[in-house]
Structure 1
Amino acid sequence: MTIKGIDVSSFQPEKYRTDGFAFVFIKITEGTTYTNPKWVAQRKTARDAGMVTGFYHFARAGSFEAQVDFFLSNIKLAEGDILALDWEDHRVSNSFKDNWIKRVQRRAPGHKTVLYCNRDFWLHRDSTSFAGDGLWIAEYNGSPGRPGIQHPWMFHQYTDHPIDTNVGNFKDKVALRAWSSHRQLAQFD
């Protein structure tokens, strides 16, 4: 059994459709200079709907330390918020990815930290299979929950039409909320 969620950025409205979705990932920052101007309102939309909320940073080449600090300085975290690194820039190394995740885990120890990347990055650019607390894999294959990888995954982004839509590898929203709040270990289906 899986649950559905979405991810949003400045390309989506501040108030978006939440019916039928258990979770949302919201883009907060990119590199060290860009902040999504809609993220606060997008977070309010999610929280008003009772969704489990995650926030992501789009990595750019440069200092992973500066990007972690920039990302975390822009968020006032609440219990159960999930943090994610969006790794899709070819100039960002595997080492950057690993170090960014580890630094966020040290700086925000009460929060799960996951890696977002597409199947090609995971299979051909990743050299450590390190995804922090879980892998959020993108593979637009028309098969929600079957991303075509052997590694355990937490979230699968399977389409971008009409919005980036994901499934979570959790029995239900209660199980996702328990995992994100560190109340229990996730059980893979």
Structure 2
Amino acid sequence: MRSPIAVAPGHSRLLAAGVVLAAQSLLLSLSAVPATADGGQPVPARGTARMGQGVLEHEGVLGRPADVDRAAVARTEGVDVSSHQGNVAWPTLWKSGVKWAYVKATEGTSYRNPYWTQQYRGSYDAGMIRGGYHFATPDTSGGAAQADYFADHGGAWSKDGKTLPGVLDIEYNPYGATCYGRTKSQMVSWIKSFLDRYKSRTGRDAVIYTSTNWWTQCTGNYSGFGSRNPLWVARYASTVGTLPAGWSFQTMWQYTSTGATVGDHDRFNGDLARVKELATG
């Protein structure tokens, strides 16, 4: 048997320190690798999600928005905005023909849009009919709790002819698993809980914003909300495509994420009088 190699005490301490430094370096290199959501994109900070973000990442652009046949039926142009747009040039949008707007108010039960006042009041001052939307995160808290938070911080409704009912933005999860770790039946229950509480708080049925692909994947294409909740469908193409089960028509359509002045542009399925009808209930 060979005798062990003797190591001087000072050398022993240096060797141990080197091992520790190597381990720390490895941990730092691993932590520097960004986490990714289901779509392979880096996970953004909580609160930064915006309407249509996941639709663009997962479904992409399916056609040129310029190909939309505006003459086929009366439609009214609208936009949706969040903190990503910052201070919005509302008079410019008004002059371009935009007559209604939705502003992100809340997300989960802790985030509030820091540009809410400029965006919500600014659209009103420009002459638009406007409302607020809530970005749902079903993995962080219950539907009723998020509806309460929304109603308390921008989602309230008043019958002034200028306030649209609140929107539940339920779509691809930008922070992790596409369906927020919920089964199809659990997702339907979560949505129902949100909608029921919002109705009890405001007296209005919330609009549901989603895409057909996400709705099919995460709710099993549930058809039970079409009789009471207006549909705002997302599809970046020249046609609205197949709608989720339960709806025979869409009330609104987010048709592009590359519009003028702000990216997300939408069309209301009717003339301005119909927009006013939705606002008054």
TM-score, normalisation: structure 2: 0.59
Match of 1:7 in 2: 80
Q: Is the contact between residue 137 and residue 147 of structure 1 (CA under 8 Å) also seen in structure 2?
A: no
Pair 1:160 & 2:257 matched: yes
Partner of 1:4, secondary structure, is: strand
In terms of mean alpha carbon deviation, does 3-12 or 113-122 score higher? Answer: 113-122
Instruction: Measure the CA separation in 2 of the matches of 1:157 and 1:13.
Output: 20
- Post-superposition shift, 1:168? 0.7
Letter in 2 for 1:71: F
Partner of 1:67, secondary structure, is: helix
The 5 Å alignment of 1:54-93 reads 54-60=131-137, 61=139, 62-75=141-154, 77-79=157-159, 80-88=163-171, 89=173, 90-91=179-180, 93=187
- Post-superposition shift, 1:179? 2.5
In terms of mean alpha carbon deviation, does 14-23 or 114-123 score higher? Answer: 14-23
Partner of 2:132, secondary structure, is: strand
Instruction: Measure the CA separation in 2 of the matches of 1:85 and 1:179.
Output: 16
Pair 1:53 & 2:147 matched: no
Pair 1:142 & 2:246 matched: no
Letter in 2 for 1:11: H
Instruction: Measure the CA separation in 1 of the matches of 2:196 and 2:143.
Output: 10
- Post-superposition shift, 1:123? 3.0
In terms of fraction of residues, the more helix-rich structure is: 2
Match of 2:110 in 1: 33
TM-score, normalisation: structure 1: 0.86
The 5 Å alignment of 1:101-140 reads 101-109=195-203, 111-126=204-219, 127-129=221-223, 130-131=225-226, 132-140=228-236
In terms of mean alpha carbon deviation, does 89-98 or 157-166 score higher? Answer: 89-98
In terms of fraction of residues, the more strand-rich structure is: 1
Pair 1:18 & 2:118 matched: no
In terms of mean alpha carbon deviation, does 38-47 or 85-94 score higher? Answer: 85-94
RMSD of equivalent CA atoms: 1.8
- Post-superposition shift, 1:112? 4.4
Instruction: Measure the CA separation in 2 of the matches of 1:56 and 1:65.
Output: 15
Structure 1 or 2, whichever has the larger Rg, is 2
Partner of 2:158, secondary structure, is: coil
- Post-superposition shift, 1:43? 0.8
Could you list the structure 1 runs, at least 4 aligned residues long, displaced by more than 3 angstroms after superposition. none
Instruction: Measure the CA separation in 1 of the matches of 2:146 and 2:158.
Output: 20
Match of 1:174 in 2: 273
- Post-superposition shift, 1:99? 1.7
Match of 1:43 in 2: 120
Instruction: Measure the CA separation in 1 of the matches of 2:205 and 2:117.
Output: 20
Q: Give structure 1 stretches of 5+ with no counterpart.
A: 183-189
Spell out, residue by residue over 1:100-150, the C-alpha distance to the aligned partner (whole angstroms, 9 max, x if none): 1121011100x341000112123332343215430000011133xx23327
Instruction: Measure the CA separation in 2 of the matches of 1:174 and 1:73.
Output: 29
Letter in 2 for 1:64: G
Letter in 2 for 1:124: Q
